[in-house]
Amino acid sequence: MQLVVISGKGGTGKTTVAASFAYLNKESIKVDCDVDASNLNIVLQGENIASSQFIGAKIAKIDKNKCIECGKCSEVCRFGAIKNNKIIELKCEGCAACKAVCPVDAITLEDEVTGETIITKTDAGILSRAEMVVGAEGSGKLVTEVRKNAMEYRKNNELMILDGTPGIGCAVMASITGCDVALIVIEPTQSGLNDFKRILSLIDHFGVKPLACINKYDINEDMTLEIQKYCENESVEVLGKIPFDPIVQKAVNELKPVICYEDSIAGKEIKNIWENIYKKYKEGIL
Nearest to 170 by CA among 147, 203, 143: 143
* Candidate ranges 143-151, 176-184, 201-209, 230-238; the one touching another protein (CB under 8 A): 201-209
Closer residue to another protein, CB minimum distance, 71 or 152:
71
| Measured distance CA(256)–CA(249) in Å, rounded | 10
Q: Which of 32, 112, 145, 187 binds another protein (CB under 8 A)?
A: 187
| Measured distance CA(40)–CA(128) in Å, rounded | 10
User: Residue 119 CA to chain centroid, in angstroms?
Assistant: 16
| CB 138, min distance to another protein, A | 8
| CB 284, min distance to another protein, A | 30
Q: How many other CB atoms are there within 10 angstroms of residue 244's CB atom?
A: 13
Give Cβ neighbours of residue 202 (< 8 Å, ≥ 6 apart): 168, 172, 173, 176
| CB 155, min distance to another protein, A | 31
Give Cβ neighbours of residue 93 (< 8 Å, ≥ 6 apart): 57, 79, 81, 137
* Candidate ranges 45-53, 151-159, 196-204, 230-238; the one touching another protein (CB under 8 A): 196-204
Closer residue to another protein, CB minimum distance, 72 or 280:
72
- The reply to whether 26 sits near another protein by the rule CB under 8 A is no
- The reply to whether 166 sits near another protein by the rule CB under 8 A is yes
| Residue 126: strand, helix, or coil | strand
Do 190 and 157 touch, CB atoms closer than 8 A?
Answer: no
- The reply to whether 90 sits near another protein by the rule CB under 8 A is yes
Closer residue to another protein, CB minimum distance, 77 or 159:
77
Nearest to 17 by CA among 208, 214, 152, 150: 214
Closer residue to another protein, CB minimum distance, 71 or 169:
169
| Measured distance CA(115)–CA(13) in Å, rounded | 25
Do 208 and 176 touch, CB atoms closer than 8 A?
Answer: yes
- The reply to whether 104 sits near another protein by the rule CB under 8 A is no
Q: Which of 67, 70, 95, 286 binds another protein (CB under 8 A)?
A: 95
Contacts with another protein by CB under 8 A lie at 8-12, 15, 34, 36-37, 39, 42, 58, 76, 78-79, 90-91, 93-97, 100-101, 109, 132, 134-137, 139-140, 165-173, 187-192, 194-195, 198, 201-202, 205, 216, 219-220, 223, 244, 249, 252-253, 255
